[in-house]
Amino acid sequence: MEIIRARDYDELCEHAATMIIAQVQQNRHSVLGLATGATPTGIYQKMIADHRKHGTSYAGVRTFNLDEYVGLAPEHPSSFAYYMRKHLFAHLDISPEQTHIPSGVATNLQVECQQYEDAIASTGGIDLQILGIGINGHIGFNEPGTSFQSATHVVTLTESTKEANRRYFTKEEEMPTHAITMGLATIMQSKKIILLVSGKHKAPVLHRLLNEPMSEDLPASILKQHSHVTIIADEEAWNL
Annotated catalytic residue, options 51, 100, 136, 142: 136
Residue 49 interacting with ligand GLP (CB under 6 A):
no
**8 Å CB contact between 175 and 70:** no
**Residue 48 to residue 56: CA distance in whole angstroms:** 9
Q: Does 39 bind ligand GLP (CB under 6 A)?
A: yes
Return the residue of 12, 20, 32, 35 that touches ligand GLP, per CB under 6 A. 35
CA distance 12 to 218: 23
Catalytic residue among 15, 50, 67, 87: 67
Residue of 117, 127, 143, 236 marked active site? 143
DSSP 16-79: HHHHHHHHHHH-TT-EEEE--SSTTHHHHHHHHHHHHHH----TT-EEEESEEETT--TTSTTS
Cβ 14 to ligand GLP, closest distance in Å?
17
Kindly write out the interface string for residues 148-187 of this chain, putting x where it contacts ligand GLP by CB under 6 A and - elsewhere: -------------x---x----------------------
Measure Cα distances from 5 to 1, 19, 193, 225, 229 in Å.
13, 15, 16, 21, 14
State the helix-helix crossing angle for 9-26 and 41-54, rounded to 10 degrees: 50
Number of residues that bind ligand GLP (CB under 6 A): 14
Q: Is 104 in the site for ligand GLP (CB under 6 A)?
A: no
- Active-site residue, 93 included: no
Least Å distance, CB 99 to ligand GLP, is: 16
- Catalytic positions are 67, 136, 138, 143
Binding site for ligand GLP (CB under 6 A): 35-39, 66-67, 132-134, 140-141, 161, 165
